[in-house]
Amino acid sequence: MTAKAAIRQEAESLFAAFRAEGAVPVETDILQTAETLLDLYGEDIRARAYVTTDPLRGEMMLRPDFTVPVVQAHMAHGAEPARYCYMGEVFRKQDSPGTRANEYLQVGFELFDRTAPEQADAQVFALFARLLAPLSLRAATGDIGILMAAVRGLSTTDRRKAALLRHIWRPNRFRALLDRFSGRAPMPAARAALLDHLQKDSPEALTRAAGTLVGLRSPEDIAARARALIDDAATPPIAAPEAALLYDLLSLQAPARAALNHLRGITPMLPAIAPAVDRFAARLDALDRLGTDTETLPFEASHGRTSLEYYDGFVFSFHAADPSLPPVASGGRYDALTAVLGQGRSIPAVGGVIRPGLVARLKGSV
C-alpha cells in the first residue's frame, strides 16, 4: 500500500467513526472567498494562506481549514441541533522545510447545540480521546474564556482592554502590553518621543509639518490616533493586585482539578472570571461522567493562544512524543464565530480536527 493510500484509509476510518456518532457528512469548496474569511482565522493563518485573485469573484484562497466554511454554511441553512463531519485537503504555507506539510488531509467533527455547552465540550473531547487512545498521545487542555473574562474585568479603560483582547493570541505582544499597562515596563522610546512632540504642537500641526501624506490614513485618522495616545499616556497603571492575578493566570499549569481549586481561590479577587470558572467546573464534571480522569488531565490557562483565533472557550489538543510534530488533533469552542457568521444569530458550537497523516505515521503505516 502506498503512503497516500494508507493515509486515505486512516482518514476514511476516522470519517466513518464520526458518522457513527450521528454526524452528517458535509463538503466545502477547496477555493474559498478570502476577503471575509481571512479576518476570522487570525494573523497566523492569514500569513500562511495561499491567496489568489479571480477576475469575477475577487480575492480567493485555497481552503486552510474546514471549520469556518462549515459554520458559514450552518448559519445560512442548518437546523438545530446539528453534528457535521468532513474529510479533505487543507493548504497552508510553511516557513521552512521540515515535518510540516503544505497540503494534508484533515478529518473533523463539529457539534452545534445550545442546550448544554459544557456537556458538548466533554463529548467532543471524549470522542477524540477514544479514537486516538491506541496512539498513547499526550492530551492538553485550556480555556481561552477564563483569560478573556479576566481581561474584560480589569479596572482600566475600554481601549486598553480591547488592545489586550486583540493580542491575546500573540503571547509575546500580550505580555509586552500587560507589562506596559501595569507599569512594569517603560513606554517605548518612539512613542515617548511622539508624545513629547504632541505636548508642544497639535496633531494637526505635526501632520502638516510632516509634509505629503503617505499611506491610507487620512489627516483625521492620524489626529484621532494621536489623541488616543495622549489619553492612554494619562491613564493610570493597572492596579498591582489585578495585574498580579493576571500574571498568575497566564502561568497557571496544573492537573485540571487542581487548576479549578486554584481558580476558585482567586475568583473573589477577580470576580469577573466567576461565570467562566463555573463553566470550567461543569465541564470537568461532564468529562468525569464520560470517563476522563480530571484529577490528572493537564490544564494550562494559556493553552491555545497560538492557534486559530476564533476559539473563545474550551480548547484541547493531542500530541505525540516527538515535539517536532504538530498536534495530531486539536479543537475547541467557538461561540463568537457563529455570531459573526450568523449576522445576528448565534449558537454554541465546539469541534475539532484530526490529521490522519500523523495517525498513519505513528501507527507505522507510512
Is 358 domain-assigned? Answer: yes
Is 335 domain-assigned? Answer: no
Tell me how many domains the chain contains: 3
Q: In the chain, which stretches have pLDDT less than 70? A: 43, 96-99, 190-232
Q: Does residue 174 share a domain with residue 304?
A: yes
Range of the domain at 78: 1-118+128-137+349-366
Instruction: Give the Cα separation of 248 and 207 in Å (integer).
Output: 42
Q: Does residue 257 share a domain with residue 175?
A: yes
Q: Does residue 270 share a domain with residue 358?
A: no
Is 15 domain-assigned? Answer: yes
Tell me, what's the pLDDT at 54? 87
Is 2 domain-assigned? Answer: yes
Tell me, what's the pLDDT at 181? 94
Q: Does residue 252 share a domain with residue 224?
A: no
Tell me, what's the pLDDT at 305? 87
Q: Does residue 245 share a domain with residue 193?
A: no
pLDDT in tens, 277-323: 999 999 999 999 999 999 999 999 999 887 778 899 999 999 999 99
Is 123 domain-assigned? Answer: no
Tell me, what's the pLDDT at 322? 93
